[in-house]
Amino acid sequence: MGEVRPMPGFGDLFTDLRGEDRTLRVSYHPDRGAVVLSLWNGTLCRGSFRMPADDVDRLLTLLTAVRTAAAGDDGAGPGTATDESAAAVPEPSVERTGDVSGTARRVVLPALPAPRVA
């Protein structure tokens, strides 16, 4: 992981449905123009994603469509809404930045001896 900083005053914490002290932290860093989504297990950060603040509107559009679908506003139940806002979610563009048809390079990691427990 990179540099660990205290959670800024502008953010929130969400708990995972599976429990076990798993959380998602969302924080806004105006000095960097970024929203950071980080996955935590207790006090350990397991991964993070720095989203440009300009992408927040696209994320909100998707989350709004998810909320509409989960509410089942069409009366048929959760996940069946045919609301126009769900249909208005733009497809993300995919930009190929290089040749991805080759094979992956595999590296054999060295074997470490197992610790002995008395």
State pLDDT tens for residues 22-47: 999 999 998 889 999 999 999 899 99
Write the single-letter amino acid at 113. Answer: P
- Within 8 A by CB and 6+ apart from 74, the residues are 80, 81, 82, 83
Note the pLDDT of residue 75: 47
Q: What is the pTM of this model?
A: 0.54
Secondary structure (DSSP) of 47-85: EEEEEEGGGHHHHHHHHHHHHHHHHTTTTT-TT----HH
